[in-house]
């Protein structure tokens, strides 16, 4: 828009139609008096043009003096908009408040998304990001994406890459998990006992058996050696060196597992009564105010806290809610038979967890290990199982190979 057009807009422009004989005469008269006319058009005995608001009264005086009829077709420009807005000032204030609120709300993070997680949980990534300021309702101006990315990598070692992207009111955290190498041994190794027991079966696929049926072995004892000693008679100077292999085979043994359980004869536990009260407070950088105080004071209670917090350019503002739940101590008394059964069930459950994956359970038994004067019944459950106890262990080549 040209400078003259801006002046017309700021001062106001009136578009008119002038009717009368020889309409060119009124145009000449207006121009001779210094009036600025624009967009002049003629249609028969009518002439159309625009004149600045300040020149309309002089134009109307000329038209009245010389017998011309002037009709206003439109009014444009700031003065006329200002008059309309003056009549609707509440609408203008509402529009300004809406724009201001829209700008303020767009300055915060309202949605948070995590992509690329597999073994690492999404909740773990969100908690780590919150430790460095990135969370819902966080002020975008206070966020340092580089600091957040480096912080998440430090806190979650299973991740190899983190990228934080903020678009609009949504923050996206893209992660790449580390690919950890497998623990399988591919070189020469022995098979050792991962648990002590009595050997029941030995099957060697490669290597040298170091135990036989009936032997008692302890944790770490070599079951099948990865060193194969050449057999036969050789001249002293032609004895071949031992051959190192990856020992393979199965050694099954009878092993024992234990599970423990206990239960008191007199049990005290805290239970809610159902009564509750709550308090609400507002905490800002300028102070803390209590919006709602608890109506009751309980002797024994539990507290549940909730609320929301946002980081603003002026500091952290939080809305805190504390719910106080009244509690009481409930006492339950059990007979020795009831406590014994509950302790036994707990011991068996713990035992089942220990022997998970066993090939065969040979026998199980439970025994009481508490004394009659104890207030707690203690039970130990024992199981004898048959399982493969082999575990690979790399060979120490310096010890195995002759110098």
Q: What is the 3-state secondary structure (H, E, C) of 108-174?
A: ECCEEEEECCCCCCHHHHHHHHHHCCCCCCCEHHHCCHHHHHHHHHHHCCCEEEEEEEEECCEEEEE
Query: Do residues 254 and 197 touch, judged by C-beta distance below 8 A?
Result: yes
In the beta sheet, which residues pair with residue 272?
Answer: 327
CA nearest 135: which of 336, 307, 390? 307
Q: What is the per-residue pLDDT for 214?
A: 92
The least confident of 203-207, 217-221, 237-241, 393-397 is 237-241
pLDDT in tens, 177-219: 876 544 466 678 899 999 899 999 999 988 889 999 999 999 9
Within a 10 A sphere around the Cβ of 14, how many other Cβ atoms? 21
User: Quick check: 298 pLDDT over 70?
Assistant: yes
pLDDT in tens, 359-376: 788 899 999 998 888 889
Q: What is the per-residue pLDDT for 256?
A: 93
Q: What is the per-residue pLDDT for 294?
A: 85
Distance CA 220, CA 191 (A): 9
Burial 182-214 (b: 16+ CB within 10 A, else e): eeeeeebbbbbbbeebebeebebeebbbbbeee
Return phi, psi of residue 169, to 5°. Answer: -105, 15
Q: What is the 3-state secondary structure (H, E, C) of 43-91?
A: ECCEEEEEEEHHHHHHHHHHHHHCCCEEEEEEEECHHHHHHHHHHCHHH
Going from the N-terminus, what domains does the chain have, and what CATH number goes with each? 3-82 (3.30.70.260), 111-177 (3.10.20.310), 187-265+334-403 (no CATH), 269-329 (no CATH)
Distance CA 192, CA 388 (A): 11
- Between 187 and 400, name the one with better pLDDT: 187
pLDDT in tens, 40-52: 887 777 788 888 7
Distance CA 71, CA 43 (A): 14
Under the banding of pLDDT at 50, 70 and 90, the label for residue 96 is confident
Distance CA 295, CA 278 (A): 8
Q: What is the per-residue pLDDT for 236?
A: 65
> Can you give the pTM of this predicted structure?
0.45
Query: Do residues 251 and 197 touch, judged by C-beta distance below 8 A?
Result: no
Q: Are strands 248-264 and 376-388 parallel, antiparallel or unpaired?
A: antiparallel
Find the farthest-apart pair of alpha carbons in the chain and give their distance in angstroms, rounded.
Answer: 145
Half-sphere exposure of 377 (CA within 13 A, CB side): 23
- Between 23 and 136, name the one with better pLDDT: 136
Query: Do residues 13 and 73 touch, judged by C-beta distance below 8 A?
Result: no
The token pair that represents 340 in the structure block: 């014994």
Under the banding of pLDDT at 50, 70 and 90, the label for residue 403 is very low
């Amino acid at each position: 828009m040209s400078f003259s057009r801006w002046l017309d807009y700021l001062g106001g422009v009136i578009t008119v139609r002038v009717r009368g004989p020889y309409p060119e005469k009124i145009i000449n008269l207006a121009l001779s008096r210094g009036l600025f006319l624009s967009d002049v058009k003629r249609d028969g005995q009518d002439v159309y043009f625009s004149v600045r608001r300040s020149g309309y009264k002089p134009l109307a005086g000329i038209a009245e003096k010389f017998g011309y009829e002037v009709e206003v077709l439109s009014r444009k420009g700031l003065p006329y908009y200002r008059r309309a807005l003056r009549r609707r000032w509440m609408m203008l204030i509402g529009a300004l408040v809406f724009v201001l609120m829209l700008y303020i709300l767009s300055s915060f993070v309202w949605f948070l998304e995590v992509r690329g997680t597999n073994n690492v949980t999404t909740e773990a990534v969100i908690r780590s990001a919150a430790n460095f300021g990135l969370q819902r309702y966080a002020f975008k101006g206070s966020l340092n994406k580089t600091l957040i990315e480096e912080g998440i990598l430090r806190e979650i070692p299973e991740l190899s890459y983190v990228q934080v992207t903020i678009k609009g009111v949504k923050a996206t955290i893209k992660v790449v998990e580390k690919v950890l190498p497998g623990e399988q041994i591919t070189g020469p190794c022995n098979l050792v006992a991962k648990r002590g027991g009595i050997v029941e079966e030995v099957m060697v696929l490669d290597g040298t058996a170091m135990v036989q049926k009936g032997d008692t072995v302890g944790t770490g004892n070599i079951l099948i050696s990865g060193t194969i000693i050449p057999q036969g008679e050789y001249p002293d100077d032609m004895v071949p060196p031992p051959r190192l292999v990856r020992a393979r085979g199965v050694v099954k043994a009878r092993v024992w597992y234990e599970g423990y359980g206990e239960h008191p004869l007199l049990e005290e536990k805290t239970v809610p009564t159902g009564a509750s009260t709550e308090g609400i407070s507002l905490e800002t950088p300028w102070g803390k105010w209590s919006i709602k105080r608890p109506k009751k004071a309980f002797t024994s209670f539990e507290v549940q806290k909730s609320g929301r917090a946002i980081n603003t350019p002026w500091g952290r503002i939080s809305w805190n809610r504390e719910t106080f739940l009244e509690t009481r101590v409930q006492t339950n008394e059990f007979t020795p038979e009831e406590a014994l059964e509950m302790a036994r069930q707990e011991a068996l459950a713990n035992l089942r967890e220990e022997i998970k994956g066993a090939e065969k359970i040979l026998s199980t038994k439970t025994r009481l290990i508490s004394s009659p004067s104890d207030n707690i019944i203690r039970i130990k459950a024992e199981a004898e199982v048959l399982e493969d106890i082999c575990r690979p262990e790399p060979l120490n080549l310096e010890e195995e190979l002759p110098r």
